[in-house]
A and B are shown apart, each in its own frame.
Chain A
Amino acid sequence: MNPRFGVFDRYGGRFVSELLAPALEALASAVDELLASPDFRRRLRRELRTWAGRPTPLTHVPRFSDRCRLDVHLKREDLLHGGAHKTNNVVGQALLAKELGKRRLIAETGAGQHGVATAMAGARQGLAVVVYMGAVDAARQRPNVDRMRLCGAEVRLVESGGATLKEAIDEALRDWVQSVDDTHYVLGTVCGPDPYPRFVAELQRVIGDEARAQILRATGSLPDAIAACVGGGSNSLGLFRAFLVDDVVIFGVEAAGRDTRTGGHGMTLQHGRPGLLHGARSYVLQGNDGQIGDTHSIAAGLDYPGVGPEHAMLHDRGRVRYVGANDAEALAAFDALTRDEGILPALESSHALAFAMNAVERGQLRAGQRLLVNLSGRGDKDLATVIGSRRP
């Protein structure tokens, strides 16, 4: 069942109901047209600069580097408006929704960052916003639920199944099939049916383009390696896309959760197999029959049984090395960066930092090598989880 639309080798496609075919067709045409339009690119750049705060800085972190025995530089997407890279995608999609004449935005959210970004962009553009969020995620990312509501968004809690990101996407797709006339579905990651994976990756590529120029300016050369956490895979792909043809080792860090043997993790590429989930063929954590698997990660944004089809391609081609960091390692990395550098990373981003802390010891990098890590979001939303994890 190889895909025909939006193909990344054997992955991608539009595996959705025929009832969504006209909407995806219209969306794909609009995406092609807008991405080729200098005027759209100009408006997007202006909005990212004047409203969202781009470019974000590149920060050298010497104390954290010593701890890692590496030379670590952080791309600071935590400083983007809203507190994570999600805003890059949402600004573009909100402009697209206006072009398409839509009046309402819907979104799914795991960690809440994509929901917050959509709520903010909706307020800014005068569009109504409904965000679907798993009830488990809403409980552990409470500040983000409040932020969405304060921006005027309606947050609908999803109670079914594991009540996390997978269920939120299920429910957003069900809303969209009914509301497609006046509603644009702002998918938050590089998953979903074509054209979402390529559109979202293109909108996130600004991370990598900036970071590549910044590190060249700061150090005079490309880094030896780059790393980012991978849930659905949008912050990582945004970084990776700018380095794919370079002589740079690329690491994608999946959530090893509690236990990789009993299924309490989100290591879709390392422990899943190809399947069809949420509109695309990609790697999927699933049972023998194809029932979608349960996942666990301390980071809501990585607690997902799927991954974008472009990552599946990069995995099969061997261009990106996918590795894991578990809950405890992520918490340790959160502490380390906070104490060493005064930067509170999101628990999702803490997985990429955990990789940095362990890479030399595990033989994945050599001492002294230069590593660029995407700090995809800030950790304010995670304080309850972090502080809770310290109680005896």
Chain B
Amino acid sequence: MSAGLLQQELRSRARHLSAFFVLGDPTPRISLDVMLAAVDAGATMLELGLPYNAPCADGPAIQAASRRALAAGTTTDVALELVAILRDARPELPLNLLVYANLVHSRGPREFCRDFATAGASSLLVPDVLLEEGEELRAICLDHGLDSVQLVGPRTPTPRLAAIDAACTGFLYLAALQGVTGSDPDHAGETQGAMQRLREVCANPICLGFGLRSVDDVARAFASGARIAVVGSELARTIGEASASGRDPRDAVAARCRALAVALTAS
């Protein structure tokens, strides 16, 4: 089913720590260094968000990251260049794109998928397109060798989970909480229940994100059956604080990633 290299890339290890960054945060140049530093410090996968000025699924930390990136001139073309450079630098690294629908729509879904697949992206997650609205886009992804990643929530009904799994070629991304990115995970029981339902009905690898901050959160994600754990808002906050206080965001992000990567080897 897989359109591209993603499943193969994912198979390279049992667990992945995925670091989410808004491309171009705080500037395109520094962003590139920050992402490479995260990988050198232990992130085994990257999730790359295109900055957007109406990010309705994101909390304050990633909204601020988007604002920084846009203010620094990160256009879709600049994001494309960053992806190409990352791919050259790390040929085996899974690169999942997270892009709001209007940015895909604006470039034209066909052009968007072609350009980012050519640049070296592995897969695409569009957080604001429902299963039913995404059929055409998923077909275009397949045509261009981009796997499609599907978001599900802790309250997605089981039959719908199965339908989404069937439409997905990359991995299923479970939001660990019913909320926006970076929120406090206050429904831990609900997440565990959803993980169990996913494990029962889904064939694709499971990724857990939204609200994961600490090495304990990441370890718990793996223990509950996730193959991929995503940390995003925490890293965006780290970049924001470092930039605001004149420290090097590369060092700050590398330190965070080194601490989080401990969960990859913990039993």
B156 touches A21 (CB 8 A): yes
Q: How far is the CA of A278 from the CA of B100 in the complex (A)?
A: 11
Taking CB atoms and an 8 Å cut-off, the chain B residues in 180-201 that contact chain A are: 180, 183
Q: How far is the CA of A15 from the CA of B127 in the complex (A)?
A: 9
Q: Taking chain A's interface residues, is the majority helix, strand, or loop, or is none over half, making it mixed?
A: mixed
CB distance from A232 to the nearest CB of B (A): 15
* Residues of chain A at the chain B interface (Cβ within 8 Å): 1-5, 13-19, 21-22, 160-161, 166, 170, 173-174, 177-178, 180, 274-279, 281, 284, 286, 288-292
Is B85's beta carbon under 8 Å from chain A? no
A177 touches B57 (CB 8 A): yes
B27-35, B130-138, B229-237, B248-256: which one contacts chain A?
B130-138
Question: 1/0 per residue B155-198: CB within 8 Å of A?
Answer: 11100100010000000000100111001000000000000000
B102 touches A275 (CB 8 A): yes
CB distance from B161 to the nearest CB of A (A): 10
A residues less than 8 Å from B18 (CB atoms): none
B151 touches A18 (CB 8 A): yes
* Residues of chain B at the chain A interface (Cβ within 8 Å): 52-57, 59, 63, 67, 70, 75-76, 101-107, 109, 127-133, 135-137, 150-153, 155-157, 160, 164, 175, 178-180, 183
Q: How far is the CA of A13 from the CA of B55 in the complex (A)?
A: 18
A5 touches B183 (CB 8 A): no
> Quick one: closest B residue to A18, CB to CB?
B151
B residues less than 8 Å from A288 (CB atoms): 75, 106
> Quick one: closest B residue to A305, CB to CB?
B54
User: Pick the contact of B153 from A19, A161, A276 — CB < 8 Å?
Assistant: A19
User: Pick the contact of B130 from A15, A170, A290 — CB < 8 Å?
Assistant: A15
Given contacts A13-B133, A178-B183, A292 and B54 within 8 Å (CB-CB) = yes
B residues less than 8 Å from A17 (CB atoms): 56-57, 127-128, 151, 153
User: Pick the contact of B133 from A14, A173, A275, A277 — CB < 8 Å?
Assistant: A14
B53 touches A291 (CB 8 A): yes
> Quick one: closest A residue to B173, CB to CB?
A18
A19-B151, A19-B175 given; name 18 further pairs at CB < 8 Å: A1-B109, A1-B137, A4-B133, A15-B130, A17-B56, A17-B128, A18-B151, A21-B160, A161-B53, A174-B57, A174-B59, A174-B180, A178-B180, A276-B102, A276-B128, A289-B106, A290-B102, A291-B70
A286 touches B106 (CB 8 A): yes
User: Pick the contact of A290 from B57, B105, B128 — CB < 8 Å?
Assistant: B105
B153 touches A15 (CB 8 A): no
A residues less than 8 Å from B53 (CB atoms): 161, 291-292
B103 touches A180 (CB 8 A): no
